[in-house]
Chain A
């Protein structure tokens, strides 16, 4: 009886702790949403109110029209999608080569590629910037997108590493059976490897999405015309221009956050699986 009571107590304590942690971590979200639908007058009250009265939905309309958010959204989407396409294609080809095909120098070259993960992005940024200036790539999306079509840049070596982990779980007997039937390595990649690693490809897609969508430093350095801005710079510009209007800024932030949350919630299962895989099989 006392043991049962003790276990009941510890269950209550457990739930209490979990609820406290969840509430504390969720408060900032609540605060943003609440601030995004308040009038300025209401925002600058102390003590602050939790529930806006009335709900000023117009903030969203204002925030999205004072700067061309539609344009930024389109630019971010374009950059992100082409980055994902290149990165998934090229890193999966390389990962297949580094996991299922045998060739001399394979492991050494893989380690060399992997070493780039330790390299701060800023070290290569200045020479890359100069290179793009000579090639006339400044103020275009090319410097943001093209590296991912060569297995570097956003995602880059990390995606190769991650997909290699996935491919290593696919038994090589499957490749051998396909080779018996006269398939080429390209056919094995396309008809065996890819269909069997859809979860892995999704993970890489989602992770690359997150990185490309969030990137600030590279767009800041390479993009000049406001019409080419991505959401990340657009939001920064918005903040400098309208820094006093916190309600609009919070509405704009909420709009930037939303697509990421949607993508995450839809693909949640794969996301966690992929992160787990990177963490456990290093």
Chain B
């Protein structure tokens, strides 16, 4: 037994060292740096919570980027989940060639994010892009998409919906785990498709829903590739995401101190959201094992 514990510790050691060196250590260091006015090439002075004060008072771009990120996250996550859930229900029916359909709908989510940003940049092109062409076919006016302050975030959300494959697969797997007997029970009680959905499918889907929401929020709050490649945060900083703003401050303007305080704020936002979600989920998520 003693030797088992020793082996166990050795096996876990690299991961524990990695956690200390690349996670816990930098997290603390980042907080210390966030309390300084440190710029690249200068010496480090601890300046207290000055950066945080500046973030909340004089910096106009911080609230704007926080708002843009939150707006993106709170629209893209629910919409992506709604669409992927609907598609998963659709593809859970007995259909000829269902495997091929699933593959096709999954593919967008594995397209490398840089490549998908390029591809959508071209689709959004106001003059020669596919989207405005489709609008013109059905007789709708053309849109500016990424080049308009109001349309830019909804455009990025549209892209997220296209990449919903990951959460679709999770829903499909969860749907396949629903025992057929429960549906039969609803049928015996004279319930139709709607009752099956509301009383069986959705309650049993709550763990998968919860998982998709959490992963969705954590990822969408870290939006970076799309603003970096497609909009450079514009127009008029309307798509300036928090991570992109941190990147600009730290690695373009050399304001390491200020960038760290922004990054820490993002961390706290994600942490609080996740905790709230876990709290909230206790009353909403149905776990089979708990009741038994």
Shortest A31–chain B CB gap in Å is: 5
The answer to whether B5 and A103 touch across the interface, beta carbons within 8 angstroms, is yes
Main secondary structure of the interface of B (DSSP, over half): helix
Cβ-based interface call for A142 (8 A): no
In the docked arrangement, what's the CA distance between A91 and B11, Å? 9
Residues of B within 8 A of A2 (CB): none
The answer to whether B122 and A216 touch across the interface, beta carbons within 8 angstroms, is no
Query: Across the two chains, which residue of chain A brings its CB closest to B163?
Result: A25
On whether A279 and B174 interact (CB within 8 A), knowing A152-B22, A268-B103, the answer reads: yes
Shortest A263–chain B CB gap in Å is: 9
Cβ-based interface call for A189 (8 A): yes
Cβ-based interface call for A21 (8 A): yes
Count residues of chain B with CB under 8 A from any CB of chain A.
90
Within 8 A of A (CB), among B211-226: 211-212, 218, 221-222, 224-225
Main secondary structure of the interface of A (DSSP, over half): helix
In the docked arrangement, what's the CA distance between A213 and B27, Å? 25
In the docked arrangement, what's the CA distance between A94 and B14, Å? 8
On whether A282 and B207 interact (CB within 8 A), knowing A93-B11, A123-B264, A276-B169, the answer reads: yes
In the docked arrangement, what's the CA distance between A256 and B106, Å? 17
User: Interface size bucket, A side?
Assistant: 35 or more
Query: Across the two chains, which residue of chain B brings its CB closest to A250?
Result: B122
Residues of B within 8 A of A15 (CB): 95
Cβ-based interface call for A199 (8 A): no
In the docked arrangement, what's the CA distance between A265 and B106, Å? 11
15 CB-based A-B contacts, threshold 8 Å: A28-B130, A31-B123, A93-B15, A112-B19, A113-B16, A120-B221, A120-B222, A123-B30, A125-B26, A126-B260, A152-B21, A185-B7, A186-B7, A239-B118, A280-B208
Known: A43-B128, A97-B7. 6 other contacts (CB 8 A): A29-B107, A118-B274, A120-B270, A124-B30, A235-B118, A272-B102
